[in-house]
Amino acid sequence: MKSERQYIELYQEAGDLIKSKSCAVMNAVRDEAFATFERQGFPTKKEERYKYTDVDAAFSPNYGISLTPLTIKPSLYIYNVKDAPLDITPYYNRVANTKDSITALNTALVHDALLIHVPANTLVDDPIVVDNWLRGTAPTMTNRRILLLIEKGASATVIINDHAADKQRFLLTQVVEVYVQDNAHLDLYEIEETPPLCSRFSNIYIQQGRDSSVKHNAITLFNGQTRNLCDVYLKGEGAEVTLNGCAIGSASQRIDNNTLIHHQVPRCQSNQLYKYVVDDHAVGAFAGKILVDKGAQKTTSQETNANLCASSDARMYTQPMLEIYADDVKCAHGSTVGVMDEAALFYMRQRGIPEVEARTLLKNAFMGQVIDQIKFEPLRQRLYVKVEKRFRGELDKCEDCRLCK
């Protein structure tokens, strides 16, 4: 049996229950999304953007679906979409690629959504932190939906942490839709520390207005299987986006990052820096596409992907792509897969640093380039420590989990 069957049956049986627990805006697009999913099924490895992840296998175990309502501490800017301070119809399921099967499945099955709304010309100094805890007594599927709306001239920092609180098999689908309007600014951090039994499928869609800027960091410290998709649509002139990623894989973890930066208007800038260290049997994949539309002149774009394969069984796939239909542009990408600098190792060993220690130092320095770019100081400091612990093998479980303490 192909694995989509159980999800189709699930929706046919529980569709009404999901609708009853949800709200009108979300129900409005649900049936259509389901129809899309039913028609397409799960993407196969023949689909270019899902080349490196076996979706079918990840979705094939029998999961129970979680319909637990969101618990939100009363706070400024953060809402359940049911209590949204504004009409979210023009935003919900709009920038998301509705043709993507995972997004369609999420839209069909999600019952609750989080809204982060920063009104115009509001500068939020403290970061908005979203902690996700995966809980369940049986294998559980969770569908998460987040809507981020940063209005004109506003500025915010959002940190999304992922943890699991129970030792269980989890499947997470996540769709994050981000609207950053004219002159607005957003720093978005996603930090994943989940146990090896977790599978994560996260699709982030970002739409930017004129002179806006977005910094997105995807940090995979510990995971089972992770697939992150990030699509950025630069729709206003002068918009700027930075996508950074840091992925550390060991044991048989799989990390697949897939990005698309779509330059639709002139004078936009994009930067990407993704770094991977893959050890043991881990598999890392990075595919990034820069798409420059006809007429999107004066585009500057830089894409860098550097990877370290630390064991002979580790595998790394990388695919940095440029698709350019305008002539007055400066676009470049670079990608490397390499080994640790033997000269540097020798130098350290000469000075009495044991080889293991020297290797850890080098790996740390390698990842440091990504962590250095994190603007929010306390987070940066914490990540330095965490990354080092990770390389020392001390972070073999999600450190912050209540269970693990």
- Residues of this chain that interact with another protein (CB under 8 A) are 294-295, 297, 307, 309-339
- Whose Cβ is closer to another protein: residue 313's or residue 394's? 313
Return all residues near 9 (Cβ < 8 A) that are at least 6 apart: none
Between CA 179 and CA 91 the distance in angstroms is 8
- For residue 319 the two structure tokens come to 């695919």
- The angle formed by the CA atoms of residues 296, 297 and 303, to the nearest 5 degrees, is 80
Please report how close the Cβ of residue 314 comes to another protein at its closest, in angstroms: 6
115-139 as b/e: b if 16+ CB within 10 A: bbbbbeebebeeebebebbbbbeee
Whose Cβ is closer to another protein: residue 152's or residue 333's? Answer: 333
For the purposes of burial, counting CB atoms within 10 Å of the CB of 162, is it exposed (0-12), middle (13-18) or buried (19 or more)? buried
Q: d(Cα 78, Cα 56) in Å, to the nearest integer?
A: 34
Shortest Å, Cβ 48 to another protein: 8
Nearer to another protein, 297 or 369 (CB): 297
- Nearer of residues 47 and 131 to another protein, judged by Cβ: 47
The distance of closest approach from Cβ of residue 325 to another protein in the complex, given in angstroms and rounded to an integer, is 4
- Burial label for 352, CB within 10 Å (0-12, 13-18, 19+), is exposed
Q: Which is nearer to another protein, 326 or 403 (CB)?
A: 326
CB of 317 to another protein, least distance (A): 5
Give the phi and the psi of residue 39 in degrees, each rounded to 5: -70, -45
Cβ of residue 386: shortest distance to another protein, in angstroms?
A: 24
Range 357-386 burial, b when 16+ CB lie within 10 A, else e: ebbbbbbbebbbebbeebebeebeeebbeb
Q: Among residues 162, 175, 157, which one has the least CA distance to residue 135?
A: 162
From 256, 224, 259, select the one nearest 244 (Cα to Cα).
Answer: 259
Closer by beta carbon to another protein, 125 or else 327: 327
**Which of 89, 311 has the CB closer to another protein?**
311
CA separation for the pair 302, 315 (Å, rounded): 25
Beta bridge partners of 201: 173, 227
What single letter denotes the amino acid at residue 60? S
Closest CB 60 distance from another protein, rounded Å:
25
Closest distance of CB 255 from another protein, Å = 14
Q: How far is the CB of 283 from another protein (least distance, A)?
A: 10
Q: Which is nearer to another protein, 35 or 346 (CB)?
A: 346
Is 279 within 8 Å of 250 (Cβ atoms)?
yes
Buried b (16+ CB within 10 A) or exposed e, 65-81: bbbeeeeeeeeebbbeb
In the complex with another protein, the residue whose CB is nearer, 112 or 279, is 279
Question: In angstroms, what is the minimal distance from the CB of 257 to another protein?
Answer: 14
Shortest CB 86 distance to another protein, Å = 40
Would you say 72 or 340 has its CB closer to another protein? 340
